[in-house]
Amino acid sequence: QVQLVESGGESVQAGGSLTLSCVASQLNPRTKCMGWLRQAPGKEREGIAIINNDSRAYVADSVKGRFTISQDVAKNTVYLQMNSLKHEDTAMYYCAAGPLCTVGALRNPSRWSYWGQGTQVTVSS
C-alpha cells in the first residue's frame, strides 16, 4: 500500500510563501501522476496541480502564476511552491497519486488511487 505523507503547511500572512512536500513510500503504475488538491471548509475539493513521472506539469488557472509543482524523483517527493498567498488559499492541502495525469483528474477526486492525510494552510489577511 502506497503511503503519502504531506508536510509544510502552517499559518502565514497574506503575501507570504510556503512550500509543501509530499513523500511517497513507494511507486507503482498507479503513482505515475502526483498531484495537489485542496479543500476549504464548506467547499468541494479543488485540484491545484499535477505532475507526471516525466515532470510534465499542469497548474490550475486559479493558482497559475503563483503556485508551482515540482518533484525530486530520487526522493519520491513532490513539492508545491506557493507564493503571493491569499486568504482564499486557506484550505487543507492534500497530496494524491494516480495512474493518469489529465486535467480531468484535477476535476474528479475519484480518479486518484492514493491520498495523503493533508496539511493545513492558513493565510491571514
Torsion of CA 110, 115, 120, 125, to 10 degrees: -40
The three three-digit cell numbers of residue 49, written as one number: 496541480
Model pLDDT for residues 36-87, shown as the tens digit of each residue: 999 999 999 999 999 998 889 999 999 999 999 999 999 999 999 999 999 9
Alpha carbon distances (Å) from 75 to 7, 78, 79, 104:
14, 9, 11, 27
**Average pLDDT over every residue of 4-32:** 96
* Percentage of residues of the chain with pLDDT beyond 70: 100
Q: Which residues pair with 63 in a beta bridge?
A: none
